Amino acid sequence: EFNSLKAAIKLSELLKTPVRVQRCAGRVVQTELIVQIEQKDVVPGDIIHFSPGDLFPGDVRLLNSKDLVV
């Protein structure tokens, strides 16, 4: 029980980490509009821009990568 509480606390701390996203306006992706938001505010359809060392506790669809190691 204590270990699961520690894991939940660590996960909630990850959600406070900011990420860079592109938001969609309807069906059009606004390529020039990249904003920085907290991970808890990411919604389906957002395009996340990862940098080396970034962590994201969720499911994503990978659109493009270079030298990616998981």
Residue 46 has pLDDT above 80, yes or no: yes
Task: Give buried/exposed letters for 40-60 (b at 16+ CB in 10 A, else e).
Answer: eebeeebbbeeeeeeeeeeee
| 58 located within any domain | no
What gap in Å lies between CA 25 and CA 27, rounded to an integer?
A: 6
Host H or E run for residue 28: strand 28-38
| 60 located within any domain | no
Domain extent, residue 23, equals 2-49
| 56 located within any domain | no
| 15 located within any domain | yes
In this predicted model, what pLDDT tens digit does every residue of 54-65 receive, in sequence order?
A: 877 778 888 888
| 22 located within any domain | yes
| 10 located within any domain | yes
| 64 located within any domain | no
What gap in Å lies between CA 40 and CA 12, rounded to an integer?
A: 9
Q: With contact defined as beta carbons under 8 Å apart, do 6 and 34 qualify?
A: no
| 54 located within any domain | no
Residue-averaged pLDDT of the chain: 81
Predicted TM-score (pTM) above 0.85: no
Domains: count for the chain: 1
